[in-house]
Amino acid sequence: MTEGIFGSIIFGKLQGRIMTFEDISRKYTGRYGSHMVHLQKPLLEWAGNDLIEIRMKINLNAAWCGNPLPLLAEWHRFHEDALAAPLLVGQQPMAGGQSLFVITNMEESHKHWLVGGRLIAVELVLEFKEYIATANDTIFTYGTSGFVTGLLTTPIVTPPLLPTG
């Protein structure tokens, strides 16, 4: 039973393993510009919505998901490679349209070990930020090593820069 996905990572019960989230928060903010007016209060101008931010807490415990290290390595891969991927919870995207998300912060707390030092429980706190791949039909590829759609990773080919002058 699938509770959600982030790229190739599946939340819920899959092949006898359970990995799910404990807590999710979504932050919406607006962007405003302040215009100074002589001898008056500044005028505030709305400049649009900011990117959606998601905070998610996940517990990886060997009792539910088997060895947590492969799952932890997959989360690290998404973070370290700056991979943008769809984030769905309850089969619903966490932002509108074709929005993708990147992991901007990853905090892990190692909770329990077996004798000999084998890690068996990890608490992850992940922070995601909405990633908009296009603006005015232009695809932005700089700063991103790839998009993840479903279970496939597709590398982005950055076009060569045009000569100046």
Q: Quick one: average pLDDT of 50-58? A: 95
152 pLDDT band (50/70/90 cuts)?
A: very low
pLDDT 10s digits, 58-112: 988 888 888 888 889 999 999 999 999 999 998 888 988 778 999 999 999 988 8
CA distance 12 to 1: 6
Is residue 104 within 8 Å of residue 83, measured between CB atoms? no
pTM of full prediction above 0.85? no
Q: Determine which of 15-19, 77-81, 93-97, 137-141 has the lowest per-residue pLDDT on average.
A: 137-141
Q: What angle do CA 84, 90, 92 make, to 5 degrees?
A: 55
136 pLDDT band (50/70/90 cuts)?
A: low
**If 0-12 CB within 10 Å is exposed, 13-18 middle and 19+ buried, where does residue 19 land?**
buried
The whole-chain average pLDDT of the chain stands at: 81
CA distance 141 to 144: 6
